[in-house]
Chains A and B, each alone.
Chain A
Amino acid sequence: MTVTSIAGVDVDLNEEGFLTDSSQWTEDMAVEIARGEGIDPLTDRHWEVIRFMRAEYEAKGTGPTVRMLGKTSGVPVKELYQLFPKGPAKLAAKIAGIPKPRGCI
């Protein structure tokens, strides 16, 4: 675990760069994390997915996989991959400040 400054705030990150405490997250951080992953700017559709990820995590204690995102977020799988080419569930979770979803499918 390392402490890094994102959007001017010191946060704890794991070895993959995910926030270890989702309550430290702010919307400004999302913009900065996304930029670091090559996603700039964050569109309304990105935000829709990011907010959905956080709501799911808060409700269930884990973020959804790509398949579940496609079924429940209102953003279809094809578009999810256009928004987050390097892995929708993984990247959206990272940007949303929640742990990486661990489902296999």
Chain B
Amino acid sequence: MPDPIEKVSIIISKGSLEGIYPGLIMANGARAEGIEANLFFTFFGLDAIHRKRLDHIKVAAVGNPGMHMASLVGVLPGMSAIATHMMEKKMESFDIPGIPEFMELIGDTGCGMYACKASVDLFGFSEEDFIEQVEGIITVGEFYEIAAGGEIIFT
């Protein structure tokens, strides 16, 4: 039998609902299996840990073939909100937590959470903008040090 995975570091780089959830589910699932896990938020993925933004994450209604809807429809005002509302209701019925609750849960599992320094500087954010579970704003070099000895997954 191959060696079990002992550690994963997951990078979340997108700020849409469908861009954020998979990484969160993988990190939470890793901890549930007793696997050490870290989350590294970069570029628009920072919205997932931004105090004022994490409760307003939207599904991409434009340029998203998975929506099975013409992009021309997706550009109509409110389409993204409607798609997000539908998705959230569906997820609730399957007992998938909203992003704020999910972040709290993942923090409680002991998963490490970090913000990418280059992106934080680029967007003009500071430590106070992020939820308390975030352990620090780190450079890419520091990320590799934290990720050492484990698998790295980019989402």
Q: Is the C-beta of A35 less than 8 angstroms from some C-beta in chain B?
A: no
Interface residues of A in 61-92 (CB under 8 A from B): 65-67, 70, 76-78, 81, 85-91
Q: Which residue of A lies closest to B29 (CB)?
A: A104
Q: A77-B105, A78-B108 are in contact. Are A105 and B31 (CB under 8 A)?
A: no
Q: Given the complex, which residues of A lie within 8 Å of B34, measured CB to CB? A: 85-87, 90-91
- Contact partner of B25 among A70, A77, A86, A105, CB < 8 A? A105
Shortest Cβ distance from A89 into chain B, in angstroms? 6
19 CB contacts below 8 A, A to B, read A65-B32, A66-B28, A66-B32, A66-B109, A67-B28, A67-B97, A70-B105, A78-B108, A78-B110, A81-B109, A81-B110, A85-B34, A86-B34, A87-B31, A89-B32, A90-B33, A90-B34, A105-B95, A105-B97
Shortest Cβ distance from B60 into chain A, in angstroms? 22
- Contact partner of A87 among B33, B95, B96, CB < 8 A? B33
In the A-B complex, list the 5 residue pairs whose CB atoms are closest, starting with the nearest.
A86-B34, A87-B34, A77-B108, A78-B108, A66-B32
What CA separation (Å) do A67 and B97 show in the bound complex? 9
What CA separation (Å) do A70 and B28 show in the bound complex? 13
Q: Given the complex, which residues of A lie within 8 Å of B105, measured CB to CB? A: 67, 70, 77
Size range of the chain A interface in the assembly: 10 to 19
Q: Given the complex, which residues of B lie within 8 Å of A87, measured CB to CB? A: 31-34
What CA separation (Å) do A85 and B109 show in the bound complex? 9
Q: A105-B25, A105-B95, A105-B97 are in contact. Are A90 and B108 (CB under 8 A)?
A: no
Q: Given the complex, which residues of B lie within 8 Å of A89, measured CB to CB? A: 32
Question: Do A105 and B96 touch across chains, with their CB atoms under 8 A apart?
Answer: yes
Q: Which residue of A lies closest to B33 (CB)?
A: A87
Interface residues of B in 107-147 (CB under 8 A from A): 108-110
Q: Which residue of B lies closest to A37 (CB)?
A: B34
Interface residues of B in 52-108 (CB under 8 A from A): 95-97, 105, 108
